[in-house]
């Protein structure tokens, strides 16, 4: 059976990993990733398309120059994308988050195993926790980078706005505000870092204690050496 200290440390890391897993599910399932205001020119007037969307679904509303709402509808992101860049990047983000979900699940399993037992295989111990939490953190960071790139560089909001209305002529301006679904990924990243730090402190304390029990012979008392 594991010691009380090990159980406490790995139980804390387990809670962190489970929270990370749940938050990845929330991020994938919600559409509050970004809110965009995209303005287009139309004959004798201007039109502003208001967008709120995530990786799979979103809503858009059309406003004329006076501020009157003309229409509002729900759309599927994949069906509204025609550009190869925006479509492939959106799919890549989804795949990355699914992989991070799997790594968070593995991290939860490894920390849970070490909470209730002492596995013999080295990789099932702290090394495995380091590995899967690091991979999960890297994937989350990559998703956080790719999503703004898809919006700012590839014009994702402008492309979705054009699918929400007709007779749009010239793009004038765009404003973007990232929602809680996007910023939750930062919390997931912090949770993964916290898990690694917790296990590191446990592993470092265990290593230090082991070294104390393996002192070199020159540090032993002289009477012990003579004996």
Question: What CATH number is associated with residue 50?
Answer: 1.20.140.150
Residue 224 domain flag:
no
Q: Is residue 217 part of a domain?
A: no
Residue 132 falls inside a structural domain: yes
Instruction: Measure CA 2 to chain center.
Output: 31
In a domain, 148, yes or no: yes
List pLDDT tens digits, range 23-78: 999 999 999 999 999 988 877 778 888 999 999 999 998 887 655 666 678 999 99
Number of domains in the chain: 1
DSSP 124: G
User: Which residue bears the tokens 């938050």?
Assistant: 23
- Specify the pTM: 0.86
The residue among 7, 4, 21, 13 whose CA lies nearest residue 200 is 13
Please choose, from the candidates 75, 40, 77, 43, the residue with its C-alpha nearest in 3D space to the C-alpha of residue 60. 75
Q: Is 199 exposed, middle or buried (0-12, 13-18, 19+ CB in 10 A)?
A: buried
Q: pLDDT per residue over 161-195, tens digit each?
A: 888 877 777 888 899 999 999 999 999 999 999 99
Q: Strands 69-76 and 170-178, how do they pair?
A: unpaired
**Which residues constitute the domain of residue 137?**
4-209
The DSSP call for residue 169 is -
């Amino acid at each position: 059976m594991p010691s009380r200290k090990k159980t406490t440390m790995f139980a804390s890391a387990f809670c962190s990993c489970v929270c990370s897993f749940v938050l990845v599910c929330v991020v994938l399932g919600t559409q509050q990733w970004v809110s965009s205001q995209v303005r287009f020119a139309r004959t004798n007037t201007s039109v502003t398309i208001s967008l709120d969307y995530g990786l799979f679904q979103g809503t858009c509303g059309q406003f004329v120059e006076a501020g009157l709402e003309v229409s509002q509808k729900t759309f599927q992101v994949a069906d509204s994308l025609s550009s190869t860049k925006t479509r492939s990047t959106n799919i890549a983000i989804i795949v990355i988050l699914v992989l991070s979900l799997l790594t968070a699940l593995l991290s939860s399993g490894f920390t849970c195993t070490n909470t209730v037992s002492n596995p013999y295989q080295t990789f099932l111990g702290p090394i495995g926790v380091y590995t899967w939490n690091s991979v999960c953190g890297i994937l989350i960071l990559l998703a956080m980078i790719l999503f703004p790139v898809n919006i700012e560089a590839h014009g994702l909001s402008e492309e979705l706005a054009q699918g929400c209305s007709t007779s749009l002529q010239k793009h004038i301006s765009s404003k973007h505000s990232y929602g809680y679904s996007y910023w939750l990924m930062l919390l997931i990243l912090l949770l993964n870092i916290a898990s690694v730090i917790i296990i590191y402190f446990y592993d470092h304390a265990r290593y230090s204690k082991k070294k104390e029990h393996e002192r070199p012979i020159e540090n032993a008392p002289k009477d012990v050496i003579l004996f």
